[in-house]
Amino acid sequence: MSPPCIDFEKVGETAFVRFNNPGAHNALTTEMWLGLRDAALAIAADPSIRVAVFRGVGGKAFVSGTDISGFTKFTSGADGIAYEHRIDECMAAVDAIPVTTVAVVDGWAVGGGLNIASACDFRLATPGARFGSPIGRTLGNCLSALSMARIGGAIGIPVAKRMVLLGEIVTAEEMRDSGFLLKIVEPEAMDAELDALCRRAAENAPLTTRASKATIRKLALENLPDIEDIVSEVYGSEDFRLGVETFLARTKALPKWQGK
């Protein structure tokens, strides 16, 4: 089995970014997060690219989150701030892609996967796709202001609250009905549906696409509050360490949160 990686391919006017860690449901390692950033920067620098597609490998997940084994090395809230800064850097590169972006979700899109899907302009999903960010039931960590603004803006604050405050996993049907998904497509029809969407997007005037995306990004994701004190408190907490230990132990029991 090949090591976890980001596969990048250009076919005509379309760039394909594939999350390749199927043995862990495409959980993103640190190297994969940086590979995502580098792929986004490469797309932005290539004027011949008109569309970018993001997709998971293996058919069971888009991205199931971050590989959290690295969290065991955290010793203070400062480590959490540094981690969120790194995620923000990588995700900001995706936000800044000046061409139309499409997420193809087959299976799980949770945690970081939900964040990446939210950064894309359009989302197609298979009927069995599932979406969520159950960090309050698993790890006991929190999101940066940029991640919260991105996810909340894409899926809506009421659904975001259900995911984060109740730990709900939401079906593809509900995400389509809320407008988050463009379409639900059967797996065998996905490639044709994706091809048609990419061809239509590529026909759009590139400067119009670039200007529209830049304007929407500025309206939605700029001038956000500084919440580093909140992030530091959560990542430096006993609850976070307990959440990581419990998650890695693969028990079905929820951590016994103490609020400290």
Task: Using pLDDT thresholds of 50, 70 and 90, give the confidence band for residue 163.
Answer: very high
Angle between helices 206-221 and 145-155 (to 10 degrees): 120
Name the pLDDT band for 253 (thresholds 50, 70, 90): confident
Distance CA 242, CA 82 (A): 20
Integer Cα distance of 206 and 210 in angstroms? 6
Per-residue pLDDT at 207 exceeds 90: yes
How many CB atoms sit inside 10 A of residue 152's CB? Answer: 19
Band (1; pLDDT cuts 50, 70, 90): low
Band of the pLDDT at 38, cuts 50, 70, 90?
Answer: very high
Query: What integer is the mean pLDDT of 168-185?
Result: 98
pTM of the model: 0.96
Residues 151, 116: Cα–Cα separation, whole Å = 9
Domains (ranges, CATH) in the chain?
A: 5-187 (3.90.226.10)
